[in-house]
Amino acid sequence: MVMPTRVRELLDRLGAPASASAHCDLPCGVYDPAQARIEAQSVKAIMEKYHASTDPDFKVRANVIKEERCELVKHHLWVLWTDYFKPEHLANHPGLHDLFWQATKSAGEAKKTNDVAVADRLLNEIDGIAEIFWATKK
């Protein structure tokens, strides 16, 4: 791995090793699609609370929080896609790319709507990713 000069200088000053060796970028066990699912569950719950409220100030705040949670869903999905899944996973699960594409698009759509069906679709897509994730861990 090529390390930017500033990072290397900082590590040198801290006395940290400039390189490490592992079969993944961090020790195994740090990745889990549950992080994305928890945020997606929050998105759905916020949508439900939005619909149950008549307070316009509450609705504005709910939308702000929902949008933040949607960004976290996308973040956690992209970390899995870019840092955990490898070419052999895609070869063994050819629909994986499309599943990630749909899930991140659903998270983006959820930012723009309070349609609980969108949140349900997002949760189902994350569940599909989780199923493949756990199959790769066996």
Ordered by where they begin, the domains of the chain are 29-136 (1.20.120.400)
95 class by beta-carbon count within 10 Å (0-12 exposed, 13-18 middle, 19+ buried)? exposed
The radius of gyration computed from the CA coordinates of the chain, to the nearest angstrom, equals 19
Quick: pLDDT tens for 71-92.
999 999 999 999 999 999 999 9
Quick: pLDDT tens for 14-72.
765 555 444 455 555 678 999 999 999 999 999 999 999 999 999 999 999 999 999 99
Q: Tokens in use for 40?
A: 């997606």
Whether 40 and 102 have beta carbons less than 8 Å apart is answered as no
d(CA 80, CA 67): 20
Residue tagged 């195994």 (tokens):
28
pLDDT on residue 22 = 47
